[in-house]
Chains A and B, each alone.
Chain A
Amino acid sequence: MAASKINSTTGIESVDPGELKAELVAKYPTKVGRKRAKQIVINSVEECGEVPEIGANSRTIPGIITQRGCSYAGCKGVVLGPTRDIINLTHGPIGCGFYSWLTRRNQTRTNGPGDANFMTYCFSTDLQDEDIVFGGEKKLRKAIREIYDNFKPKAIGIFATCPVGLIGDDVHAVAREMKEELGINIFGFSCEGYKGVSQSAGHHIANNVLFSHVVGLDDTPSKGKFKINLLGEYNIGGDAFEIERILDEAGITVVSTFSGNSTYDKFANSHTADLNTVMCHRSINYVAEMMEKKYGIPWIKVNFIGAASTAKTLRKIANYFEDEELIERVEKIIGEEMVEVEKVRLEVKSRCEGKLAMLFVGGSRAHHYQDLFAEIGMKTVAAGYEFAHRDDYEGRSVLPNIKVDADSRNIEELRVEPDAERFSPRKSQEALERLKAKGFRFKDYDGMMPEMASGTLIIDDISQFETEKLIEKYKPDIFCAGIKEKYAIQKKGIPMKQLHSYDSGGPYAGFKGAINFWREIDRMVNSKVWSYLKAPWQESPELTATYAWE
């Protein structure tokens, strides 16, 4: 295995990933171990970019202590949560609505006191015993009327929770009926928690409903010369604000964001943009695909996490529009922004170089944040996603080879046809060819693994046990994951950065975000607080003994 080891200055050469994998798998009951063996992969990148196959988007093993959430969390919490003027009504017992109330740090900025903002509210039908027995549709209808009477929103989304699916409440029928009655847009999401195998199913369901019930409702031509949508950016800790700042300066108009700092009207008008840029491929690629088919808007993968990545993304967008002025302006911005960025980067790098990071989080973040660590000389020795699919690991080229299992088949795939009137290819065939010839790649994503070193460990849906073992063996300088893992890791004396919610920090996107992130990582990995773990009398107990003897 010598060839597959990572070079490092911190002594991780002693970790043989093959042996470690065997140790991890051996701990489980045989059948469980066999399954985990497919989800734990030692990375090896061929020259052509090919990587080994990983088991992903498969059922979680009961009892393994997963960090995954459910379909409702992906749908209501992640995708619809950051939109401020749609009332999200949870149809179910109180818990689901309560836990997803203001807990994700999505920021939103209204255009003044008259603007609607329901993100600070939690709406629920709070189903009771008798509703489960006799059905909850009546209560749902009434709750919608009460929402209308009290709040007069533009739109209401109804989110089905686990028992709703079982008792047979038809949220879609109620939505249709109430839409008719009240004259506002009302749509339902069948995002019961048991759908699919993780949050990912909920993303897909959210994409489908937004696409079929909201996108395309307002044909007013959007203003601006270079019009894009920002997909899969949720404005955690203000990321979208920083991205908007940069794009604004470049003269690029963001027609809509799915869904950080977003509004209903912007979704409705999003099909008038000329390019879809995809940040979180996992959670939003469905909308990008469908908008391309229906309206002719091409999509590209972008990444605003990391200063170099941000620069690369800006150039990519400018090149797409093939406008010399824009290309120049973007270069000017990059040049100006990079002065401060480089200053901080080099300063932080001097203290962080060679340190080790592990990232087990999300469906794109565990990939994106590796760029930020690499820029300050930190190595990612192990990484994995919580709810991603094989294409997020291995790249979209594996899509035709992914076997669709029963759990995924239960999530509807919308059939989308080009819109008879509104389909308009944003680029001529000739222009597309011209761009491709210059190396421009549309609707493509390489995934995480080809960009990681050979010999690194890739683990899908990592368990608590595996997390602990990895920390024990590699002794990383920082571990990135979510709130549930945070304090178990920190109790071990390893700083832990949340990359779902950023702890209390952010923005981390764009140029200013990169600076924020590096300062934060510098604070964490070089903090003196980790040196206080032992009291003086625990550090050198023998000294006390000597005094006692003398």
Chain B
Amino acid sequence: MLLRHTTKEIKERQALTVNPAKTCQPIGAMYAALGIHNCLPHSHGSQGCCAYHRSTLTRHYKEPVMAGTSSFTEGASVFGGQANLLQAIDTIFTVYDPDVIAVHTTCLSETIGDDIPQIAKKAEAEGKIPKGKYVIHANTPSYVGSHVTGFATMTRAMVDYFAESNGHKIDQINIIPGYVEPSDMEEIKRIVSELGLRAVMFPDTSNVLNRPQTGRFDMFPKGGTTVEALRSTGNSKATIALGRLASGPAARALDAKCKVMCEILDLPIGLAATDAFVDTLRRLGGVNVPDSINIERGQMLDIITDMHQYFYGKKVGLVGDPDQLISLTEFLVSIDMWPIYVVTGTPGKKFESKIVEITRDVPHEVKVAAGGDMFLFHQWLKNEPVDLMMGNTYLKYISRDEDIPFVRFGFPILDRVGHSYFPTVGYRGGMRVLEKILDALLDKKDRESPEESFELVL
């Protein structure tokens, strides 16, 4: 057994986290910053943070992930990291020449209390920031929130630093896609353009973290939201924020700063959430939904109706991030599956009550934990197993020990490809999720059916 020390008996833990279902803020900030065109993320702290974040993102995407670090030593930890950041800014603009350096802090620089805007000002005064170039920042102490809130904070910084309003609204909608994959961002853009709408999406990691093999390496690839586009968000007609936790703060900041009204929706994973997204686009854009989208919706629904017998009443355990879990839980409930364990490491009471509300009609007890961990999740399973688990790669240890079918979903996925190319959002994304669930369930059925009831047609 790989997790041989996990017991059925659950003892209360107040101080110890075992097998976390979250990671720290800075990696989310780094991921978000990669969604700005010509931007180099910069980690203001010890160099290990940067190394860890780059490694994890690289393993997840199998793509180059470039970022700088302030490389704190003991001296910098005592005297503050100003000298380090000044040198970093100078070196980065001299050698790598990005348009933007997006600095995020770490637990170290936050505990010291480094003031990034003040240091950036000093860099500017010393002529270390070339004309037309920017240093932006987000405060992302690792001892607050999780990678999701780090993403939210850096996304909000894009608004704080760039959004401008000249009082003239333009025919454009802002879309904040949430902490989703580059494939999802691409799919969201496709849906928007199917409806014939003009939009600015930020951040946008498509064509950054799923770029083609061409025999060329570009330090700054083609993708990412440009500074110019970010600036224009202040004049947009409206903002659609997908995912309350990851996108809400930026949307509200844009409303406060430039009076751009916002609608904060769930991530468009599954039927109802995608319906809500498409309908909101239709309303805000004043357009009709084209048949192409209706067809996609119908195809997804077709899979659900055709294969309903395999979904019905199946118990599911979910581990992941709040925005994803809310939509996914709703999706599973809508196809008559029973999500009975829902765990996120990201703290938040609202999440728990939201899941309780979504699952109120599930005819089974539903256990929810925000600020939980995979050890607790596994203990729940030991007491009552499920038919399917969905979550990041770390679940594969539980899947093997307990022989439970497993669909990889969320962050990080370190052992399979696909997530950066094939979306899980929208109707097409929903079809992929359904396919993955069916594959996992039916592979097990085929493997374990007695010979006499092993069937060709399912």
Contact = CB atoms under 8 A, between A and B. Distances in A.
Interface of A: 27-29, 32, 59-73, 89, 92-103, 113, 116-118, 120-129, 131-132, 139-143, 146-147, 149-151, 161-163, 165-167, 192-198, 406-407, 410, 463-465, 468, 482-484, 486-493, 533-534
23 contacts: A63-B92, A64-B68, A93-B107, A94-B20, A98-B24, A99-B52, A121-B3, A123-B18, A132-B107, A141-B15, A146-B13, A150-B11, A163-B108, A192-B46, A193-B47, A194-B46, A194-B72, A194-B73, A194-B76, A195-B74, A463-B95, A487-B64, A491-B214
A103 to B, nearest CB: 7
B47 A146 contact: no
A72 B49 CA distance: 10
Contacts of B95: 27-28, 63-64, 463, 465
A128 B24 CA distance: 11
Interface string B47-59: 1110111111011
B49 to A, nearest CB: 7
Given A28-B94, A73-B51, A125 B16 contact: yes
B303 to A, nearest CB: 33
A492 B59 contact: no
B54 to A, nearest CB: 5
B51 A67 contact: yes
Contact of A63 (B11, B26, B51, B90): B90
Interface residues of B, number: 84
B217 A468 contact: yes
Interface of B: 1-5, 7, 11, 13-20, 22-24, 26-27, 42, 45-49, 51-56, 58-59, 62-77, 84-85, 87-92, 94-96, 106-108, 110-112, 141-144, 146, 211, 213-217, 219, 345, 375, 394, 397, 414
Most buried by B among A70, A139, A146: A70
A492 B54 contact: no
Given A29-B94, A60-B71, A534-B215, A122 B18 contact: yes
A166 B112 contact: yes
A100 B7 CA distance: 24
A120 B397 contact: yes
Given A128-B144, A194-B72, A121 B108 contact: no
B73 A464 contact: no
A125 B74 contact: no
Contact of A70 (B46, B66, B111): B46
A62 B91 contact: yes
Contact of A68 (B26, B51, B91): B51
Nearest to B88: A63
Contact of A489 (B7, B51, B75, B217): B217
A487 B42 CA distance: 19
B55 A484 contact: yes
B89 A63 contact: yes
B3 A27 contact: no
A100 to B, nearest CB: 8
Contact of B24 (A63, A95, A533): A95
A65 B345 CA distance: 31
A289 to B, nearest CB: 24
B64 A194 contact: no
B68 A492 contact: no
Contact of B51 (A70, A101, A196, A407): A70
A3 B399 CA distance: 61
A131 B75 CA distance: 24
A72 B108 CA distance: 13
B47 A121 contact: no
A490 B215 CA distance: 8
A62 B45 CA distance: 10
Given A63-B90, A73-B48, 14 more contacts: A29-B90, A63-B89, A63-B95, A70-B48, A93-B107, A97-B17, A98-B22, A101-B394, A123-B17, A162-B111, A463-B95, A464-B219, A487-B64, A491-B64
- Which 6 A-B residue pairings sit nearest by Cβ, starting from the closest? A70-B48, A63-B88, A95-B24, A193-B46, A93-B142, A142-B15
Contacts of A67: 51
Nearest to B106: A162
A70 B87 CA distance: 19
Given A68-B51, A484-B55, A162 B46 contact: yes
B108 A166 contact: yes
Nearest to A32: B91
Nearest to B13: A146
Given A65-B67, A491-B64, A484 B142 contact: no
Contacts of B214: 491, 533
Contact of B20 (A98, A147, A486): A98
Nearest to A165: B77
Contacts of A150: 5, 7, 11, 13, 16, 18
A481 B106 CA distance: 26
A486 B95 CA distance: 20
A98 B28 CA distance: 14
A154 to B, nearest CB: 13
Contacts of A533: 213-215
A14 B52 CA distance: 38
B20 A97 contact: yes
B87 A62 contact: yes
Contact of A132 (B20, B62, B75, B143): B143
A484 B73 CA distance: 22
B277 to A, nearest CB: 31
Nearest to B401: A120
Contacts of A198: 47
A65 B71 CA distance: 10
Residue with the highest number of chain A CB atoms closer than 10 Å, among B73, B76, B112, B394: B73
Given A93-B142, A468-B217, A61 B62 contact: no
A474 to B, nearest CB: 15
Contacts of A146: 11, 13-16
